[in-house]
Structure formats: structure tokens, C-alpha cells
Amino acid sequence: MTATISHTRLRVLFAFFAVASLLLSARLAYWQTAGRADLLSRATDQVHSDLVVAAQRGVIRDRNGAILATTVELRSLYAIPGLMTDRDGKDTRPAVAAALAPLLGERPEVLRAAFDSGAEWLFVRRRLPEDTAVRIAALHLAGLGFEMEPKRLYPNGAVGAQVLGFVNDDGVGQYGVEGRYAEELRGTPGRLVVARDPANRELALGLRTAVPARNGDDLSLTIDLAVQNAVERELAAVVDREKATGGAIVVLDPKDGAVLAIASSPTYDPARVGSADAEALRNRAISWTYEPGSTMKAITVAAALDKGVVTPSTSYQDVGYAVIGGRKLCNALCKVYGPTTVTQILARSQNAGAVFVASKLGAADLNAYLQAFGFGQRTGVDLSAETGGIVRPLAEWYPVDLGTISFGQGLSVTPLQLASAYAAIANGGTLYRPYVVASRRDADGEHRTAPVAVRRVISEETSRTLVTMLTITVDNGIANAAALKGYSVAGKTGTAQIPSDDGSYVDDAYISSFAGFVPAIDPRMVVVVVLEKPQSKLLGTVPAMNTFKAIATDALRYARVQPDRP
């Protein structure tokens, strides 16, 4: 039997297929032309990965090449709780928590709570110590994995923390060298666009665009780790012994202003920044100001000698006090010394004598010399958060200010400013800008920092004269506790009252300091020790001098400096 199909049906069927074919063709034409880019993009996205290649943060070393700070990739442990099952599909979260707890020093309940929090993916512990990561990896626990994350490490612990600063969790340098040279240390990230196979492995064939990362610059500091360690050890010891609220020590090379060591108390451990209080983060050597007290007398005398208004043998009759601007300014304990030379003013640290010298000099010249020595302005040291101290403009000086400023009250300085000024006295009269970074190494090679001589402050002759006077101050004067066997020492003590919020001074609390250099002739280092509120009160300069002595002994021995005295 033969079936017959009507022509109408055939036509309808033909029309249907014709229209369908047209539609499909049109659609195909669309995807081949207008929609091509979209399809291509979607296909490319499936096989291509576009990654940011992190730059390695630069290494910081001391002047002898010892590593002070470096970055290394550490393993961070993550968990996917949904995958914590055994072969039978049984939940292994309690077992995983129990196995991890002793390795992480955490309670199992805490880990279990994290796994049960409902998160699909979570960090269990970030940047694990390598040995812990190895032990965890050896357990082969299901649902756990590792991801590499950079970690800034400081192998010397808290030593040098105030100079170095730290890097926060976002990889941004804070404080110290890390903050000041954040841009140089960070480097520039690269980019890698590459085709990957289903196992997420890079394919050698196909698209590959790579912009290499430029690693951060390596920095070599002027800091000497051995000296830095000695300085921090001695500062911690004296602050502890004296129950001082704080302190700071600066060690400079007077020949070029290179900072050999900077210590500040209280301090912090860069590895535990989160637990440090804000005061500990402050580098008191550059960010804290205080009234310097009698250490400023050396500056007053330097100005007067340089101006030629006094000589070391110029004398006056000391009556225990001086009257200036209608105010009576006394010596310490109002002691009367009688006939006194300028050399003796320093050796005995007489306030009235400093007023006598300042009166000879005049306010304008004293102010000019203070500015020339760098007081009241930032030294320009390459560390972040430096403050400039306060020297009021001459127009704002009351008549009595000439007297008080001559012995270090009524102005504020940083320990680094004082060290810098004493370095100028020690090196023949040139003020150098202190610096911490000795050289920077990038892809182009090493760039050394050239010492910057800011200005000549006093003449070489004045410098020589003052060095002799300050040596006498140590050998036969008030700073005798700073004398070192075998070495000549020049220096001056300082005891200053602490201004209170009401404009007067805090009762029975002082800031004790010592500024000196050794050897006095051809000095190798300037050391400034400052203690805030030591329990020895007016005798607080003695522990300051003992600290100077301990540091100088260590540093000279370490640097193999030949004794200049029998």
C-alpha cells in the first residue's frame, strides 16, 4: 500500500524547515560576526589566568651585612570544612580539630567552633612557623590546605625595632626605615597572563604575557648591630634600675653624621606589634622633645667662644645666682663658687655662669647659634616621624629667656638634635645631617648615601678649645663618672626640670642626661643618654654617665679603637 502525502503538508513542512534554517543561519552569522568577541572572551576566560606577581620586599642589613629585616613566604593554613570527611563520608571535623589543637597551641573547641561556623573556606592560622607547617602537612588531614603568604621577619627580635619600624598586615611599612623607605622597599608588582590546563597548570603553548615584578631595593644601614645591641641592653638595664618612665640613647659617628645606634624605651617587638602600646611605638630619640638642661651650656659657651666675647679663662665672680630680666636664676642648690672661669662654668655646671656667658653674647647671637646648631628644626634624618623641637622666635623671647635658655630651659630638643650638635663640636665645627641608610641597592646597582654637611657652625679653633674644656669637665669636673680608663672623654651632664601642663614645672622629677664623645681627640662616636624621671632624681646624671661608659667601653672594644691615654 502506498501512502500519499498532500502537497499542502509538504509545503508547510518545507516552509518550516526553510524558516528554521534561516533563523539558525542568522543566529550563526550573528555569533560569527557581532557576537564573536563575547564568545571569544568567555572561552579565553575559561583557560587564561591573569595573576599579579608580588614583588619581594627589600632586605634591610646593618653596616656589616647582618640581616635586620627580610621577607619570606610562609605557609598559611586554611580549611574547607565541607571537605572534612573520610572515605565513608563520615564527618572528621572533631578529629581534625583535635589533631591540630596541640600543634597550633589552641583549644580543640575553638577550632571546632571555627569549622562549624558555616564558612565554606577560612584561614585557620596565617603565616605559620615552618616547622609547625611541616608537622601539620605530615598529618595529611582532609579539608586542610596551605597558601603561601609573605611575612616580614626580624631575626634580631626587638633589637633595632625603633630604627627599623615594622610592616603591617597589608604590607605597608610603618615607622622607622620601613616607613620612611616604604616606597623603595616595596618594589613594583608584575603581571602574568597565561593559559592553563584543567589541572590549573600553566601551558607552555598559547597566550603568555609576563611583566616581571621589580623587587624592592635592599638597604644597608649605618647601624652597627653590635653597638645597637649594646645600646639597647644598657638602656633597658638603666631604665629598669632607675625605674625611669622612659629613655633614649643616640650614637653618632661625628665625622659624617652616620647613626650607629638609636634606642628608645619603652620599645616593642616588631613580631608582636599588635600587643604593643602606642607609647612604645614612639622613637623617643627623634619624636620626643625635652628641655635639655645643662648639656646646653656647651652650646652657649661654644657660641660665646666663637663670637669671641669670652675665652676659657674669662672669669666672673659667682655669687650663687644671676639676676636677669628681673628674675633670679640660681646655681644647683644655690651653691656659691666665687671667682670662676668659663672653663670652670662647664666643669661645675654653674647656671649663673651660663647666664654670665649668655649676657656677654646677647639674645640675638645666642638665638642665631641655636638655629645654626640645628635646634628648633628637624635634623632631616631619614626616619619617619621626626619632630623639630621648640626654639621660640627671638621676637617672642622675654629678657629672662636669655638666661634660662643658656642653661637649657625654655626650649626643647630631641636627643638626636643634641647628638648632632655635639657631633659638630667634636668634628671641628661642621654640622652634618644625621642619616641611617648608608646605601640602597636596586637593579641598577648600589647607590651610596653621600654625607651632607649642612653648615659650618663654629670655627675649628673654637671646636678645639671647647673639646679641651669638655675634656676637663670629664677629667676633673662634674662629669667625672663618665671617665674611661685609657681613653680621653669629652662631655657634659644635664639635669632638667619637666614642664607641667599648668606652665610651671613638675615637682621632684627630672630628666637626666649625658652628652659626650670619645676619644676626645679624633672622636669615633658621640653618645647622648637621656633618662626620663629616674629615681635618682637630681643624681640621675650618674646612671646616665655609667650608661655612657658601658656603651663606650663595648663600642670601643668592638671597633678595636686604640687607647689614646696610658
Partner 1 sequence: MTFAQAVRAPQARRVQHRLHRQAVPHHRAASRQAAATRVRTTSWEIRSFLLASGVIVSCFLLVLLYLAQATAVSAAGYEAQRLAAQRDELRRQNALLMIESARLDSPARVETEAQRLGLVRAATIRVVVTEAAAATR
Q: Under the criterion CB under 8 A, does residue 537 sit at the interface with partner 1? A: no
Q: Under the criterion CB under 8 A, does residue 536 sit at the interface with partner 1? A: no
Q: Under the criterion CB under 8 A, does residue 153 sit at the interface with partner 1? A: yes
* Bridge partner residues of 327 (DSSP): 324
Q: Which of 48, 126, 214, 233 binds partner 1 (CB under 8 A)?
A: 233
Catalytic hit among 294, 349, 384, 463: 294
Contact map string, positions 391 to 410, toward partner 1, x by CB under 8 A = --------------------
Alpha-helical (H) ranges within 33-118 are 36-47, 93-104, 108-115
State how far the Cα of 516 lies from the Cα of 519, in Å rounded to an integer. Answer: 10
Q: Which of 225, 286, 425, 555 binds partner 1 (CB under 8 A)?
A: 225
Q: Is the dihedral of CA 551, 556, 557, 563 positive or negative?
A: negative
Q: Which is nearer to partner 1, 6 or 200 (CB)?
A: 200
- Min dist CB 486 to partner 1, Å, is 7
CB of 187 within 8 A of CB of 216?
yes
Q: Under the criterion CB under 8 A, does residue 130 sit at the interface with partner 1? A: yes
State how far the Cα of 253 lies from the Cα of 223, in Å rounded to an integer. Answer: 10
Q: CA Rg, the chain, in Å?
A: 35
Q: Which is nearer to partner 1, 202 or 460 (CB)?
A: 202
* Bridge partner residues of 432 (DSSP): 453
- Min dist CB 206 to partner 1, Å, is 10
Closest CA to 321 of 356, 292, 289: 356
Checking phi first, is residue 157 left (phi over 0); if not, alpha (psi -120 to 50) or beta?
left
Q: Which is nearer to partner 1, 4 or 562 (CB)?
A: 562
Judged by CB under 8 A, which stretch of 87-95, 175-183, 444-452, 556-564 contacts partner 1? 556-564
Q: What is the grid cell recorded at 525? A: 662616636
Q: Which of 136, 144, 226, 346 binds partner 1 (CB under 8 A)?
A: 226
DSSP characters over 434-445: PBSEEEEEETTE
Q: Quick check: is 384 catalytic?
A: no
Q: What is the grid cell recorded at 274? A: 599588635
- Min dist CB 315 to partner 1, Å, is 39
**# residues near partner 1 by CB under 8 A:** 26
Q: Which of 43, 72, 139, 390 binds partner 1 (CB under 8 A)?
A: 72
DSSP characters over 466-509: HHHHHHHHHHHSTTGGG-BTTB--EEEEEEEEEE-TTSSEEEEE
The residue type found at 17 is F
Q: In terms of DSSP bridges, do strands 259-265 and 525-532 run parallel, antiparallel, or are they unpaired?
A: unpaired
Q: Which is nearer to partner 1, 109 or 147 (CB)?
A: 147
Q: Which is nearer to partner 1, 144 or 226 (CB)?
A: 226
Q: Which is nearer to partner 1, 232 or 401 (CB)?
A: 232
Judged by CB under 8 A, which stretch of 45-53, 154-162, 177-185, 372-380 contacts partner 1? 154-162
CB of 306 within 8 A of CB of 458?
yes
Q: Under the criterion CB under 8 A, does residue 563 sit at the interface with partner 1? A: yes
Closest CA to 253 of 465, 435, 66, 64: 435
- Within 431-490, the residues that bind partner 1 by CB under 8 A are 486
Q: Under the criterion CB under 8 A, does residue 212 sit at the interface with partner 1? A: no
* Bridge partner residues of 453 (DSSP): 432
Judged by CB under 8 A, which stretch of 62-70, 348-356, 372-380, 388-396 contacts partner 1? 62-70
- Min dist CB 156 to partner 1, Å, is 5
Judged by CB under 8 A, which stretch of 68-76, 379-387, 394-402, 426-434 contacts partner 1? 68-76
Q: Under the criterion CB under 8 A, does residue 147 sit at the interface with partner 1? A: no
3-class DSSP state for residue 369?
helix
Q: What is the grid cell recorded at 337? A: 663658687
Q: What is the grid cell recorded at 365? A: 647671637
Q: Which of 85, 132, 229, 449 binds partner 1 (CB under 8 A)?
A: 229
Q: Under the criterion CB under 8 A, does residue 204 sit at the interface with partner 1? A: yes
CB of 537 within 8 A of CB of 331?
no
Q: Under the criterion CB under 8 A, does residue 557 sit at the interface with partner 1? A: yes
Judged by CB under 8 A, which stretch of 98-106, 163-171, 229-237, 247-255 contacts partner 1? 229-237
State how far the Cα of 323 lies from the Cα of 445, in Å rounded to an integer. Answer: 61
State how far the Cα of 419 lies from the Cα of 424, in Å rounded to an integer. Answer: 9
CB of 452 within 8 A of CB of 432?
yes
- Min dist CB 165 to partner 1, Å, is 18
Q: Which is nearer to partner 1, 50 or 202 (CB)?
A: 202
Number of residues assigned to the chain: 566
CB of 549 within 8 A of CB of 481?
yes
Judged by CB under 8 A, which stretch of 221-229, 276-284, 304-312, 407-415 contacts partner 1? 221-229
CB of 516 within 8 A of CB of 526?
yes
- Min dist CB 74 to partner 1, Å, is 9
Which residues of this protein are in contact with partner 1, per CB under 8 A? 66-67, 70, 72-73, 130, 153, 155-157, 159, 201-205, 225-226, 229-230, 232-233, 486, 557, 562-563
Indicate which residues carry an active-site annotation.
294
